[in-house]
Structure 1
């Protein structure tokens, strides 16, 4: 059993080594699950008691190691605002919960292996894994950071076909490679190196085709892709305001003046968009009376210098209600209610203002997961710095339209992980994606690099430029092929500008979203039925 645990750890290590921010080791994804599959097969064929539990534990070791090694930075971020013990417990949500859900997929795979052929069980494993990924991007504890298809963000030239499949195409690709190669190697092992039957000769060719054909098609598409010329000049600002002490180190006026100074330093008269990061306008602002605020007056004075200029910025805003209009609305002593928002705002030099309220809120930090069921935990989250669902949100994305008619997708931080959500902006008319984020919470860790890399996948899926403004992170411009054309240094106050090409065409993925996820989830129900029926009991072959 000890060797099986070592094999499980080896798979976890290979998955971590293949994961962003690593780049040239990405192809390890095609073989990373082989060791743990050998370990699971050994358990299935061995004289062990409680095999199901051993399968779950062994697979769990792989998944826990991979998750922890790849997203250790979650603990760093939480530990800045909460005691170490509490931070460790909260970090178990992305570390442990994701690993448990992954291990359940392997456990169900074992149930199929006991009763059906390897091919059926392998198809079931792919379906169960996809169902896990869909669940983990949809429920109140959503954290799709570790979806397998995200692993190719480090080597985006291999997945230009994400414009058809999204990241779930990558998930299927990884599993097909691993499961077919495992079957080849295990068959060879059973034959003890003797001459393999005809089927054994065909299968290696199938495996090679599965790796080479999508890669070749992708690289061909990458090299041949040409953007339609439709230019717009965009300035991205990285103010580098320390997030944990932004309200004590600089006044709101000083922060705004810094943003304006950096913008002015490289802007030209024809600049159309100034992209400022998440909560760059840090003064809590009433959306209904913003026109009378001193910040608005200051920003209009800045925009008067740019005829077609627009500021697209993160902002901390709120709305007042007569009644509890939303589930996140909080009562005031005067009988009124109010909602606070992690929002984006578009300011034109004409005085027009548009707001978007972040929808994909971070569980436990920006919202209380399962609010009704876990309402008893509200005092705990409040005591240790969590917002207990303090932020309101909107159900669907909305596009900012500038006075020139250009549509921009205001994607706030965490939302950039959801391919289907970003695609909704594009379907509604967005011609480029503006990601406003604050990656300083994680420090100088892999978190900021992974977040940047994932933005490349959004560019490919929708064939849109991405203008990314990250306070204390890495700001960048990403073209429609997913190439990072410009990027800033970490922890550096600066501004960069780029003439980007707007695009109005919709990709297959933009039009149809995560259809592969729903197909896989639907198939998983069919395999669960097969498990329940127990039509036949066959030994693993």
Structure 2
């Protein structure tokens, strides 16, 4: 049975709407357990791969636009390009599934779809055009009590849960259409119900006891609330902004305060990282720390380093013949020294461009980026407080959506996750809400406290079970103080990272190799002569 053009269009639209309606911060998360069914139906009822590609592209484009439309508030051309490109890439696992169906039975084809999609998510976490915002496992950020087992699987487990549910419910519907209320139908229906319920029940039993490293200390996060389109980078207001950050911090700290956290690029100057002590504009900051020698300060800053020769493709040539690299950094200050981590998971476009897109550098520079892109750290750099209280996993901007990447810091004995971000570029939209909610999943995966400082909100503290202990609302200036514990418990996910994504990728490769073999074998078979 071939689907008609009108019904195909309606099914494609339905799939996109279901995916959007179930995404954070919507409370309709359960819709995601059936949201892929329209595309599964179209794969079975569309005879041409070109038509199926069109239907799947409509579904995925609608999902991208409705869920992440706010990206275009920073750059309309950049946002449109991201929607079109990301939706196109997302079609690849579905096209692979479409061709797989012709050479495998229904069960194995469903397994193939699951591992194809998970492989796509894994790749999308690990290349320069990375945009894993719509990783399916992120969808449970509003329901941390459903996914306490993320300490074993990470977000990949949530992706598997959603995909398996969709494949099973589709097969339940097919079995009902073919056999009615048969024994096989009831068995499949029972399997689907177990798939939905078992992970939630399991979450009740996996909350482990955490090992405390030492006494608890309080941490202060500051939310300055500077509009990045107007106030934050306005010339002539830098000194006022720095003084206000210091004043907000000073009002909250006490004798038990170990750490103060400021947001991304909170230092309102572009600074040479090897001359921070000599920088006259930073004298108020050093004065604040010298008055409070028991306090460490973690802040975002935009840094530069000078080199006599080109050290990377990100280095820009200077008029004097030297070169300069730029960084989006997190810096941990005490009263006499500073440790620096350079953001490594860079935003495609404004912060990094693959070499083949370098010609677009001037376009993205207009939207807060750099001509050559930021350089990055090549290793996970844990920041150690000099008051011997915390070993910090620094997550700058949207690095907090990379669970596997942060697990590598935690593997190096980090015991506190600090997120410094801006989130003001997109205004009062779903963007900053989704970003904050995703941080709850990082807490569960690592069983660590999260201290989150966001320039315009939402700043918050999240406990090791994904619960929000305190938060500041959007577009509000203020501070939060929370007593935190440094937990040293190592989770399975901390130790092995994205092992489930890796297993899916190996399985997907096996499917594709077998598929290729079958296609070649099919083409070599001689045609039977008609009698």
- The TM-score range, normalised by the shorter chain, is over 0.9
Partner residue of 1:332 out of 318, 326, 344: 318
- Structure 2 equivalent of residue 177 of structure 1: 165
Matched, 1:308 2:312: no
Kindly provide the CA deviation profile for residues 13-66 of structure 1, in whole angstroms up to 9, marking residues without a partner as x: 1111111112x31122111112232232222xxxx4xx1111111122211111
- The aligned residue for residue 83 of structure 1 is none
Match of 1:427 in 2: 411
Which of residues 297, 307, 330 in structure 2 aligns to 1:344?
A: 330
Structure 1 match to 2:476: 492
* Structure 1 pair 300–511 and aligned structure 2 pair: CA distance change class (3 A): same
1:385-411 per-residue CA deviation (whole Å, 9 max, x = no partner) reads 642333221112211111122201111
Conserved in 2, the CA contact under 8 Å of 1:4 and 1:36? no
Aligned equivalents of 1:331, 1:307: Cα separation in 2 = 39
Where do 1:35-434 residues align within 5 Å? 35-43=38-46, 48=47, 51-78=48-75, 87-88=76-77, 90-191=78-179, 194-196=180-182, 198-221=183-206, 228=212, 230-245=215-230, 246-248=232-234, 251-349=237-335, 351-368=336-353, 370-371=354-355, 373-382=356-365, 386-405=369-388, 406-434=390-418
In the alignment, the residues of structure 2 paired with residue 418 and residue 187 of structure 1 have an alpha-carbon distance, to the nearest angstrom, of 39
Contact 1:364 1:389 in 2 (8 A): no
1:181 Cα shift?
Answer: 1.1
Cα distance, 1:226 vs structure 2: 6.2
Deviation at 1:250, TM superposition (A): 5.7
Q: Distance in 2 between matches of 1:112 and 1:230?
A: 56
Alignment CA distance shift 1:387-1:524 (3 Å)? same
SS at match of 2:143: helix
| Displacement after TM superposition at 1:103 (Å) | 1.7
Deviation at 1:215, TM superposition (A): 0.7
RMSD over aligned Cα atoms? 1.8
Q: CA offset at residue 171 of structure 1?
A: 0.7
CA distances 1:125-179 after superposition (whole Å, capped 9, x unpaired): 0111011111211111110101111111121211110100001111111111110
Task: Report deviation, 1:380.
Answer: 4.4
CA contact (8 A) 2:175 2:184 kept: no
Q: Does the 8 A contact of 1:230 with 1:503 survive in 2?
A: no
Quickly say closer, same or farther: Cα 1:249–1:487, change in 2 above 3 A. Answer: farther
In structure 2, what is the Cα distance between the partners aligned to 1:177 and 1:91? 31
Describe the superposition over 1:310-350 as per-residue Cα deviations: whole angstroms up to 9, x where unpaired: 1100011111111111221111121211111111111112x
Q: What is the DSSP-based 3-state SS (H/G/I as helix, E as strand, rest coil) of the residue aligned with 2:392?
A: strand
| 1:312 match: secondary structure | strand
Tell me the CA shift for residue 92 of structure 1: 3.3
Contact 1:57 1:103 in 2 (8 A): no
- Report how many residues are paired: 514
For 2:526, the equivalent position in structure 1 comes to none
Measured in 2, the distance between the counterparts of 1:93 and 1:466 equals 33
Do 1:243 and 1:440's aligned partners in 2 also have CA atoms closer than 8 Å?
yes
Say if 2:296 and 2:387, in contact at 8 Å, map to a contact too. no
Distance 2:233 2:158 in 1: 42
Q: Indicate the larger mover: 415-424 or 26-35.
A: 26-35
Given that 1:274 and 1:310 are in contact with CA atoms closer than 8 Å, whether structure 2 keeps it comes out as yes
Alpha-carbon displacement from aligned partner over 1:171-197 (angstroms, at most 9, x marks no partner): 111111110111011110123xx331x
> Partner residue of 1:11?
15
Aligned mates of 1:7, 1:226 — CA distance in 2: 47
Question: Is the CA contact 1:21–1:450 (under 8 Å) kept in the aligned structure 2?
Answer: yes
Residue 459 of structure 1 deviates from its aligned partner by 0.4
Cα distance 1:397–1:160, how it changes in 2: closer, same or farther (>3 A)?
Answer: same
Q: Tell me whether 1:452 sits opposite 2:453 in the alignment.
A: no
Using the alignment, how far apart are the partners of 1:7 and 1:164 within structure 2?
A: 36
Unaligned segments of structure 2, at least 5 residues: 523-531
Q: How far off its partner does 1:249 sit?
A: 6.9
**Secondary structure at the counterpart of residue 32 of structure 1:** coil
Deviation at 1:271, TM superposition (A): 0.6
Inter-partner Cα distance in structure 2 for 1:41 and 1:441: 42
2: distance between equivalents of 1:225 and 1:209?
Answer: 27
Matched, 1:512 2:496: yes
SS at match of 1:314: strand
Q: TM-score, normalised by structure 2?
A: 0.93
1:34 aligns with 2:37: yes
Instruction: Tell me if the contact between 1:40 and 1:58 (Cα under 8 Å) persists in the aligned partners.
Output: no
